[in-house]
């Protein structure tokens, strides 16, 4: 294509903004997994279907004529169901009319939220390691990310380091609990410390709680929005993707006080117009599932976690035990590879297992160079096949 801007053909036609980040490594690993016919323990998605009631309700909605735009910020039935679920599950008071924006997955909820609150020059505090989208999200919204390390082996943060990350330019802090990729579940004490800093500096907590129901060993999920004073300055993000095993449906939501929701809805409307209307009806049905559904989900993930901790440990990985979400962060130094890229290429091409190189979760590449993340949202027979393949991996 001709460069019509000027005659300088060396000048890229893409923006400096997109030059500021690379393609998603997680999605790249999924493509490599397909290419090598490897088991995809890279991108976190289940290999089973959503609950039957959810699929039936979506199919029925299509046949009943729910095929045109829903209200841009979400169908009233879905917003009502979301508010009701927060009421009984989190004891959170959510007004469906003024506090809920239904989005195309949690991914869109995050970028719409940041674009709604960030001005150029604003800073966003991000814990490291982080889910890889948060870096580009900050750049796309015009914010400067300020990273605070979660320290191994238990992924705690140092309060003085966190406090030092806040200043007059800080607009938001991104929290992800239960956490991807570490499996950390933020405690009440930790969220209270974050609350104190948010209130001192007038900062918005943007909290991605997509793994809220995937918890192990009695850990409990706490939404920072429920802590004193935080309901006015928190955006709580979630989605149907992980809780109802429907990552491809792209139905998520952002919950926030009306003054924040107004901004989020404007961005969301112009970015996407709205999430798929019939799928919103499917998710409405899923939100009515009883408490036992969630208990069953967590119990089945705990079995998978325990199985994979054993397999990975026996193979020679040092595992950081997760207490929530469905990933295991590991240290692969026993295998003698110079870096995470060469090791993950060996795994996908020669062993038949795709995983995510650790550096994609770190700004400081050194920290992730001997780390790799495995996702275990897979049926037990798939994980058993993974175990057989891992037995071919040699320690040095
Ligand atoms: N959250 C999932 C992961 O970390 C999937 C990410 C994605 O590709 N949207 O693997």
pLDDT digits (tens, 9 = 90+) for 96-105: 999 999 999 9
In the block, residue with structure tokens 């038949």: 352
* CA angle centred on 335, ends 333 and 337, rounded to 5°: 75
The answer, yes or no, to whether residue 4 has pLDDT greater than 70, is no
Q: How far is the CA of 83 from the centre of ligand 1 (A)?
A: 25
Q: How far is the CA of 43 from the centre of ligand 1 (A)?
A: 5
- Compute the mean pLDDT over every residue in the chain, rounded to the nearest whole number: 95
pLDDT digits (tens, 9 = 90+) for 29-74: 999 999 999 999 999 999 999 999 999 999 999 999 999 999 999 9
Residue 5's pLDDT band, with cuts at 50, 70 and 90, is low
* pLDDT for the residue 9: 63
The arithmetic mean of pLDDT across residues 236-264, rounded, is 98
Q: Among candidates 133, 124, 112, which has minimal Cα distance to 181?
A: 133
* pLDDT for the residue 292: 97
| Ligand 1 atom at minimal distance to the Cα of residue 43 | 10
Residue 1's pLDDT band, with cuts at 50, 70 and 90, is very low
* pLDDT for the residue 7: 56
The arithmetic mean of pLDDT across residues 364-393, rounded, is 97
Residue 395's pLDDT band, with cuts at 50, 70 and 90, is confident
Q: How far is the CA of 168 from the centre of ligand 1 (A)?
A: 32
Share of the chain above pLDDT 90, in %: 92
Atom 2 of ligand 1 has which residue's CA nearest to it? 44
Atom 7 of ligand 1 has which residue's CA nearest to it? 43
Asked whether 176 lines ligand 1 (CB < 6 A), one says no
- Residue 215 is classified by DSSP as B
The answer, yes or no, to whether residue 6 has pLDDT greater than 60, is no
Q: Would you give the distance in Å from CA 118 to the centre of its chain?
A: 20
The domains of the chain, with CATH numbers, are: 9-49+292-390 (3.90.1150.10), 52-286 (3.40.640.10)
Asked whether 131 lines ligand 1 (CB < 6 A), one says yes
Q: How far is the CA of 44 from the centre of ligand 1 (A)?
A: 5
Asked whether 329 lines ligand 1 (CB < 6 A), one says no
pLDDT digits (tens, 9 = 90+) for 302-334: 999 999 999 999 999 999 999 999 999 999 999
pLDDT digits (tens, 9 = 90+) for 115-159: 999 998 999 999 999 999 998 899 899 999 999 999 999 999 999
The arithmetic mean of pLDDT across residues 284-304, rounded, is 98
- Residue 44 is classified by DSSP as -
Residues 99, 285: Cα–Cα separation, whole Å: 20
**β-bridge pairing 123-128 and 327-331:** unpaired
Q: Among candidates 19, 50, 11, 45, which has minimal Cα distance to 293?
A: 50
Q: How far is the CA of 200 from the centre of ligand 1 (A)?
A: 33
pLDDT digits (tens, 9 = 90+) for 151-181: 999 999 999 999 999 999 999 999 999 999 9
Asked whether 180 lines ligand 1 (CB < 6 A), one says yes
Residue 12's pLDDT band, with cuts at 50, 70 and 90, is confident
């Amino acid at each position: 294509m001709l460069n019509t801007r000027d005659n300088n053909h060396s000048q890229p036609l893409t923006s400096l903004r997109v030059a500021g980040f690379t393609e998603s490594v997680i999605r790249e690993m999924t493509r490599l997994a397909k290419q090598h016919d490897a088991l995809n323990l890279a991108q976190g998605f289940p290999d089973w279907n959503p609950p039957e009631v959810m699929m039936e309700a979506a199919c029925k909605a299509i046949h009943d004529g729910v095929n045109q735009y829903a209200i841009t910020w979400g169908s009233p039935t879905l917003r009502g169901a979301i508010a009701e679920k927060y009421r009984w599950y989190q004891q959170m008071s959510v007004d469906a009319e003024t506090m809920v924006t239904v989005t195309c997955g949690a991914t869109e909820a995050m970028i719409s939220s940041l674009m709604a609150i960030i001005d150029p020059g604003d800073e966003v505090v991000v814990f490291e390691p982080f889910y890889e989208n948060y870096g580009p999200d900050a750049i796309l919204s015009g914010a400067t990310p300020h990273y605070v390390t979660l320290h191994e082996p238990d992924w705690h943060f140092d309060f003085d380091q966190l406090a030092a990350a806040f200043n007059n330019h800080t607009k938001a802090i991104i929290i992800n609990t239960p956490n991807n990729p570490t499996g950390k579940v933020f405690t009440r004490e930790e969220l209270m410390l974050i609350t104190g800093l948010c209130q001192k500096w007038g900062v918005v907590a943007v909290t991605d709680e997509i793994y809220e129901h995937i918890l192990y060993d009695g850990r409990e999920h706490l939404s920072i929005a429920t802590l004193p004073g935080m309901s006015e300055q928190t955006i709580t993000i979630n989605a149907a993707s992980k809780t109802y095993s429907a990552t491809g449906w792209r139905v998520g939501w952002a919950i926030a006080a009306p003054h924040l929701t107004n901004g989020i809805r404007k961005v969301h409307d112009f970015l996407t117009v709205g999430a798929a209307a019939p799928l919103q009806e499917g998710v409405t049905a899923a939100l009515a599932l009883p408490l036992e559904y969630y208990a069953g989900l967590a119990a089945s993930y705990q079995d998978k976690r325990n199985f994979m901790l054993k397999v990975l440990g026996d193979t020679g990985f040092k595992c950081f035990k997760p207490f929530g979400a469905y990933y295991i962060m590991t240290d692969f130094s026993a295998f003698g590879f110079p870096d995470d890229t060469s090791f993950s290429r060996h795994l996908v091409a020669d062993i038949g297992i795709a995983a995510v190189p650790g550096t994609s979760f770190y700004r400081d590449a050194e920290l992730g160079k001997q780390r790799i993340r495995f996702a275990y949202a897979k049926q037990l027979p798939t994980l058993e096949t993974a175990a057989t393949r891992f037995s071919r991996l040699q320690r040095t």
